[in-house]
Amino acid sequence: MDEITIERNLDALAMEKLESRLGISRRAFLQFCVAMAATMGLPAGADAAIAKAVASKKRPSVIWLHFQECTGCTESMLRAEHPTLEKLILDVISLDYHETLFAAAGHQAEAARKAAMKANKGKYLLVVEGAIPTKNNGIYCKIGGQTAIELLKECAADAAAVVAIGSCASWGGMPSTPPNPTGASSAGEVLGKVIPNIPGCPPNPYNFLATVVHFLTFGKLPDVDELGRPKFAYSRLIHENCERRAHFAAGRFAKEFGDEGHRKGYCLYKLGCKGPETYANCPAILFGDVGNASWPVGTGHPCIGCSEKGIGFAKPIHALAEIRFVTPPTGFPHVIEEQGKGASLGAAALTAAIAGAAVGAGAMIAKNIGKGVKIDEGDTAKKSAERVES
């Protein structure tokens, strides 16, 4: 659906009020709605529903809790540009409790949280940032006299939905790294159920934004996988959409930081890139709104698998990734098939021998990938051909 059709479906007065409230042009707002619908893979017409919901529905109340974390998730939200955070979070939703952004403090802040929970019982969205310490009854994190465990369970009891943002809240993240002295655990583990998770360290703010917009538009959170991750953002391996994927397929790898392959933009697999075993949309939507290549691999550093449970903060940064579902091809077809009179028996035998050797060499490349084993396909094929001729 194009922008003109969407606009016709909206009340003109509501759109004028929206422009004034958000401080962005009508066109920019409609483009935002189209982008959100596309990001979530929603069917035709969903962009109009999003526009109508944001323009006319009551802003959902959001209670945002902080536990064991570095506030990086919130910091990434502060750098959202389309629209900016103060327009998005403060105008699209009603952020009724957030320790970092609150002007209030102490008893005043806790009173605001309880008032918002009471006024929006069963309707508010609870966002959890940070891991929850569980050792020694959770004494390692207390807010307003309550442990993180008590506060999380109290707020989750009457929430319409609970969302864990960042790898700390989703899996335990950095705080849960062995020996994990505080017993840091995920929000889902403490609540005893799978909840929607938006992992990453930090996660892309637009993945969170799209999740909230989906909740606002349809009254429910988007479809998630078995780990609670929204499918629109975490259903594909990073490796599949990486701009260096072609170099992986061709067997071109950077072996050291700063070597010729690294300078030429070769695949970073041998430097420990976890793209082949990490699910996220980083190469598709990038980070920071600063343009091309604005994500770790694009800037020359291997993906550390921060969004993947059991990979980020668990597997050494430069350890080789386990390749899932994708392996280098052993050969490529001609762009234009050659035309000729056909092959003689001798030529066919020679071709078969060379092709077999090439396939074998390709298989060895796949087998020895990452082990530093050098295979010269040309020499292998040449020796096979010599044996056939003799």
224 CB-near residues (< 8 Å, 6+ apart): 194, 196, 197, 230, 231
The pTM for the full model equals 0.74
Q: Which class for 189: exposed (0-12), middle (13-18), buried (19 or more C-beta within 10 A)?
A: middle
Give strand pairing partners of 128: 65, 164
In a domain, 285, yes or no: yes
Distances in whole angstroms, Cα of residue 70 to Cα of each of 74, 75, 139, 185 = 9, 9, 19, 15
In a domain, 231, yes or no: no
In this structure, what DSSP letter does residue 293 have? T
- For residues 53 and 66, membership in a common domain is answered with no
Angle at 125 between CA 122 and CA 129, to 5 degrees: 135
Residue whose C-alpha is closest to residue 76's, from 311, 223, 295: 295
Query: Tell me, what CATH number does 67's domain have?
Result: 3.40.50.700
- For residues 168 and 63, membership in a common domain is answered with yes
Domain count, the chain: 4
Residue in this structure with the two tokens 């570095």, named with its chain if needed: 70
- For residues 260 and 213, membership in a common domain is answered with no
- For residues 212 and 360, membership in a common domain is answered with no
- For residues 195 and 318, membership in a common domain is answered with no
What is the pLDDT tens value at each position of the chain, 390 positions in all? Answer: 455 555 555 556 666 666 666 666 777 777 777 777 776 777 777 777 877 777 666 777 889 999 999 999 988 887 776 556 556 555 667 788 988 888 788 899 999 999 999 999 999 999 999 999 999 999 999 999 999 999 999 999 999 999 999 999 999 999 999 999 999 999 999 999 999 999 999 999 889 888 888 888 888 889 999 999 999 999 999 999 999 999 998 999 999 999 999 999 999 999 999 999 999 999 988 887 777 888 999 999 999 999 999 999 999 999 999 988 765 554 544 445 444 444 444 444 444 444 444 444 444 444 444 444 444 444 444 444 444 444
Domain closes at, from 57, 72, 100:
57
In a domain, 260, yes or no: yes
Q: The domain containing residue 319 runs over which residues?
A: 236-326
- For residues 70 and 28, membership in a common domain is answered with no
- For residues 248 and 304, membership in a common domain is answered with yes
- For residues 192 and 66, membership in a common domain is answered with yes
Give strand pairing partners of 81: 84
- For residues 164 and 293, membership in a common domain is answered with no
Please tell me the distance from the alpha carbon of residue 97 to that of residue 124, in angstroms, as a whole number.
11
At 141, list the tokens.
């994190």
